[in-house]
């Protein structure tokens, strides 16, 4: 009996071909296995029927742990072939129907970790130790199929010892494309800030000494550079902040173990599992009461971003390191992409660091560390990048014949998304595309994904805002390819993202963030939306209020307070007292007053700006030095607060009134603790939005309420909304696999395009959607 099998899914770069080889030999079958150019694997089997049936059963039940089988297609070969044995053949560039792709970078496995510190192992202390089960994947690959000569490892010919392991079917490194050792693999070395190599016996141990002595290092990893520094000594942290002009934005840290993390942060069982998973993301953890690291790491916040080591290099750094943790945060000039090559790092990062740890392996694709926080037991992605990308999110509600759509994203926290054949492929984190370097990274990454997925775009979706580079890119590309482009309103895209990943075609969406251009040309940000009758509809929103100076008000939130409090008793003396928080002092205040008198101001419905306003009034933050800072500090202040102003939300028609509440905060600013005022503000906003959503559910006979947008990261507000809607018998739908913020916007744009073409391309109603088979990598049964 002869059959030909095509297996698609996560089947390249995870030890799948060696597994097939061993299984076929065990089942006494002949034939071959080879990688195909679209990321799938082709298998030819010849033998007795009972042996082939045994092979098929074990294929599904014994597959490698990192693989994910999406589809198995079996056919009778047109022309039978005779094979004397079973072989692993050279990869083919043939593209067959179906989409598969390589897995993301995978953290070091336990076997490699054991070898790393084994006295008798030839890879002892080798920083780039990897095997079939671990190591870089996405960040090293140039093209499919996944073979060494198509990766950054093509520059490192194998030595005889590595080649014997590579060709031994019983070896863990059989056909491991990243196989290397100290004799033939990448080399690591220490330099000064100008790239001058420093001769030393052990660059890694020397780097550890330098960090403990208070120096700042730039360390080249698998997917980019990190800044590394002490976590106990505030001096290098302050120095790094001054050099980078990053006064208060938190830094991530890395610790050697869960036990070390527990010495300065609280770790739940859910958080522990994700920290120790192969993904190894940064997880936002609550600080312990006796937090013993420098407060300069995350000033004014109740939490800290922490990750565990995920490469051999990281573990070697911690072998002799004596502190509980090490700052390990993305190394890039402000708003530019993370650095990936040595020359750029030296020229652009040399002014920030004192020394570099470099290696001579190319990084093909950047991948910043992913960032996750938990709301109780539920993980929420802040940044979906290393460890997740490029694995797809399944869309079982979508007909596989639907057009290939590129969602282009927004302007900040940008990603893009390609939907093809029932799967959504989100890019790694790109950043702010206003910067020339970041926009080039964006365009190059679109090209790279297009090649990996063999995707021919048939439609584009982008933001309404004509000032976004991603919108201009979409229009240019649409003209070049002669395909349609749909402009999707910002908050509609957030709602679509929530619908797309939860397989729901109808819900009331509470979409809350800082800014998105509305259909009426105004600044939206506190919206109650619905999708019905093949169109999106705005049902309600937060009350409009002035935004004096537009973007300037987002940087200096007291401007927002001025717009609401201008005629309140005690206002004049109060604003004069804080004149030093404005760049131009009293003169700037006088100009803003003239603007307010003219009554010709931009207005907004933004939930984010409301939180910023409260943060400024109660003295938490007067200048936003990083995205979301005033609102983030408000959440941290309210973490142990209580609702001292338990004012019932004022609903007027389709609006949540907020001006009167802001005035109440102002009147009581010196009467109550900041923590209690902060909690009271979040309580008012959460309850008011939830009550408005419940009202619209009853009016429109809708049973689901969803929450999305950047404010959805706020755990206090999310919990208040959840409790309020559940009290009325509704469930709150939140994000599972995409970020609620603008990192998930591109996915929502692409989904929105498909929803608006529903009759043509959606294959089933929400009630007909079967339980998910899983999203590939990580699976839907995993923590995140």
Q: So which residues are the catalytic ones?
A: 17, 35
Specify the residue for token string 């072989």: 87
Q: How many CA atoms lie within 13 A of 259 on its CB side?
A: 0
Cβ neighbours of 655 (radius 10 Å): 18
Length of the chain: 784
Edge-to-edge strand ranges of the sheet holding 378-383: 197-198, 188-192, 355-359, 217-220, 225-230, 326-330, 253-254, 303-307, 282-286, 371-375, 378-383
Q: Rounded to an integer, what distance in angstroms lies between the CA atom of residue 228 and that of residue 325?
A: 10
In 3D space, the residue among 407, 460, 410 whose CA is nearest the CA of residue 434 turns out to be: 410
3-state secondary structure of 540: strand
Q: Rounded to an integer, what distance in angstroms lies between the CA atom of residue 21 and that of residue 51?
A: 14
Cβ neighbours of 646 (radius 10 Å): 10
Cβ neighbours of 528 (radius 10 Å): 25
- The interaxial angle of helices 558-565 and 585-598, nearest 10 deg, is 40
Integer-rounded Cα Rg, in Å, for the chain is 27
Q: Rounded to an integer, what distance in angstroms lies between the CA atom of residue 21 and that of residue 130?
A: 21
Whether the CB-CB separation of 393 and 378 falls below 8 Å is answered with no
Q: Rounded to an integer, what distance in angstroms lies between the CA atom of residue 367 and that of residue 510?
A: 31
Cβ neighbours of 176 (radius 10 Å): 23
Burial classification of residue 511, based on how many CB atoms lie within 10 Å of its CB (0-12 exposed, 13-18 middle, 19 or more buried)? buried
Q: Rounded to an integer, what distance in angstroms lies between the CA atom of residue 180 and that of residue 186?
A: 8
Q: Rounded to an integer, what distance in angstroms lies between the CA atom of residue 566 and that of residue 63?
A: 67
Which tokens in the block code for residue 298? 């995350």
Cβ neighbours of 115 (radius 10 Å): 20
Whether the CB-CB separation of 264 and 250 falls below 8 Å is answered with no
Q: Rounded to an integer, what distance in angstroms lies between the CA atom of residue 685 and that of residue 541?
A: 12
3-state secondary structure of 285: strand
Whether the CB-CB separation of 312 and 112 falls below 8 Å is answered with yes
What is the per-residue burial (b if ≥16 Cβ within 10 Å, else e) of 593-605?
Answer: eebbeeeebbebb
The C-alpha angle with vertex 712 and arms to 710 and 718, in degrees rounded to 5, equals 160
């Amino acid at each position: 009996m002869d059959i030909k099998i095509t297996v698609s899914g996560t089947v390249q770069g995870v030890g799948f071909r060696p597994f097939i080889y061993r299984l076929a030999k065990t089942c006494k079958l002949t034939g071959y296995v080879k990688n195909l150019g679209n990321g799938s694997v082709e298998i030819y089997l010849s033998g007795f029927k009972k042996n082939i049936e045994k092979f098929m059963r074990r294929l599904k039940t014994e597959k490698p742990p990192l693989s994910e089988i999406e589809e198995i297609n079996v056919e009778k070969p047109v022309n039978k072939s005779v094979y004397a044995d079973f072989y692993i053949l050279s990869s083919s560039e043939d593209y067959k129907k179906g989409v598969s792709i390589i897995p993301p970078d995978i953290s070091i496995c336990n076997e490699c970790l054991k070898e790393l510190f084994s006295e008798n192992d030839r890879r002892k202390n080798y920083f780039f130790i990897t095997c079939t089960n671990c190591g870089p994947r996405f960040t090293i690959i140039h093209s499919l199929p996944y073979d060494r000569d198509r990766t950054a490892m093509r520059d490192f010919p194998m030595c005889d010892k590595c080649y014997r392991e590579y060709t031994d079917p019983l070896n863990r490194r059989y056909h491991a494309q990243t196989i290397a050792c100290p004799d033939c693999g990448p080399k690591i070395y220490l330099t000064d800030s100008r790239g001058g190599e420093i001769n030393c016996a052990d660059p890694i141990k020397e780097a550890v000494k330098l960090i403990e002595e208070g120096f700042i290092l730039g360390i080249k990893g698998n997917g980019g550079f990190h800044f590394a520094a002490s976590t106990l000594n505030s001096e290098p942290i302050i120095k790094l902040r001054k050099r980078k002009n990053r006064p208060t934005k938190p830094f991530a840290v890395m610790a050697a173990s869960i036990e070390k993390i527990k010495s300065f942060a609280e770790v739940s069982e859910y958080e522990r599992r994700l920290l120790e998973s192969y993904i190894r993301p940064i997880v936002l953890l609550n600080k312990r009461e006796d937090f013993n690291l420098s407060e300069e790491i995350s000033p004014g916040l109740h939490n800290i971003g922490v990750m565990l080591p995920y490469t051999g290099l990281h573990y070697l750094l911690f072998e002799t390191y004596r502190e509980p943790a090490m700052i390990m945060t993305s190394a890039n000039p402000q708003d530019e992409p993370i650095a990936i090559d040595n020359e750029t790092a030296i020229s652009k990062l040399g002014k920030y660091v004192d020394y570099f740890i470099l290696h001579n392996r190319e990084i093909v694709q950047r991948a910043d560390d992913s960032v996750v926080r938990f709301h109780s037991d539920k993980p929420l992605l802040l940044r979906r990048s290393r460890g997740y990308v490029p694995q797809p999110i399944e869309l079982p509600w979508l007909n596989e014949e639907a057009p290939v759509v590129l969602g282009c994203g927004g302007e900040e926290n940008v990603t893009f998304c390609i939907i093809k054949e029932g799967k959504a492929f989100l890019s790694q984190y790109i950043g702010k595309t206003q910067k020339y370097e970041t926009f080039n990274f964006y365009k190059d990454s679109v090209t790279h994904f297009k090649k990996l997925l063999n995707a021919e775009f048939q439609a584009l979706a982008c933001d309404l805002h004509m000032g976004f580079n991603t919108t201009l890119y979409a229009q240019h590309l649409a003209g070049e390819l002669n395909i349609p482009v749909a402009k999707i309103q910002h908050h509609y895209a957030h709602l679509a993202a929530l619908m797309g990943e939860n397989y729901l075609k109808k819900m009331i969406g509470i979409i809350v963030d800082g800014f998105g251009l509305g259909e009426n040309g105004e600044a939206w940000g506190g919206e109650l939306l619905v999708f019905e009758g093949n169109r999106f509809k705005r049902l309600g929103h937060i009350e409009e209020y002035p935004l004096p100076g537009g973007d300037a008000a987002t940087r200096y939130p007291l401007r927002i307070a001025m717009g609401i409090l201008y005629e309140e008793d005690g206002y004049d003396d109060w604003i004069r007292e804080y004149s030093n928080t404005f760049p131009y002092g009293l003169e700037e205040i006088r100009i803003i007053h003239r603007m307010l008198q003219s009554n010709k101001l931009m207005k907004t419905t933004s939930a984010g700006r409301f939180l910023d306003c409260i943060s400024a009034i109660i003295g938490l933050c007067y200048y936003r030095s990083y995205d979301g800072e005033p609102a983030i500090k408000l959440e941290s202040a309210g973490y142990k607060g209580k609702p001292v102003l338990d004012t019932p939300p004022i609903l007027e028609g389709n609006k949540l009134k907020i001006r009167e509440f802001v005035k109440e905060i102002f009147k009581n600013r010196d009467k109550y603790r900041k923590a209690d005022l902060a909690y009271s503000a979040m309580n008012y906003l959460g309850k008011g939005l939830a009550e408005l959503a419940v009202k619209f559910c009853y009016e429109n006979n809708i049973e689901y309420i969803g929450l999305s947008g950047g404010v959805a990261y706020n755990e206090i507000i999310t919990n208040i909304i959840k409790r309020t809607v559940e009290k009325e018998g509704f469930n709150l739908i939140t994000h599972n696999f995409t970020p609620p913020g603008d990192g998930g916007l591109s996915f929502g744009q692409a989904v929105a395009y498909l929803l608006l073409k529903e009759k043509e391309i959606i294959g089933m109603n929400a009630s007909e959607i079967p339980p998910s088979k899983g999203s590939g990598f990580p699976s839907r049964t995993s923590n995140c």
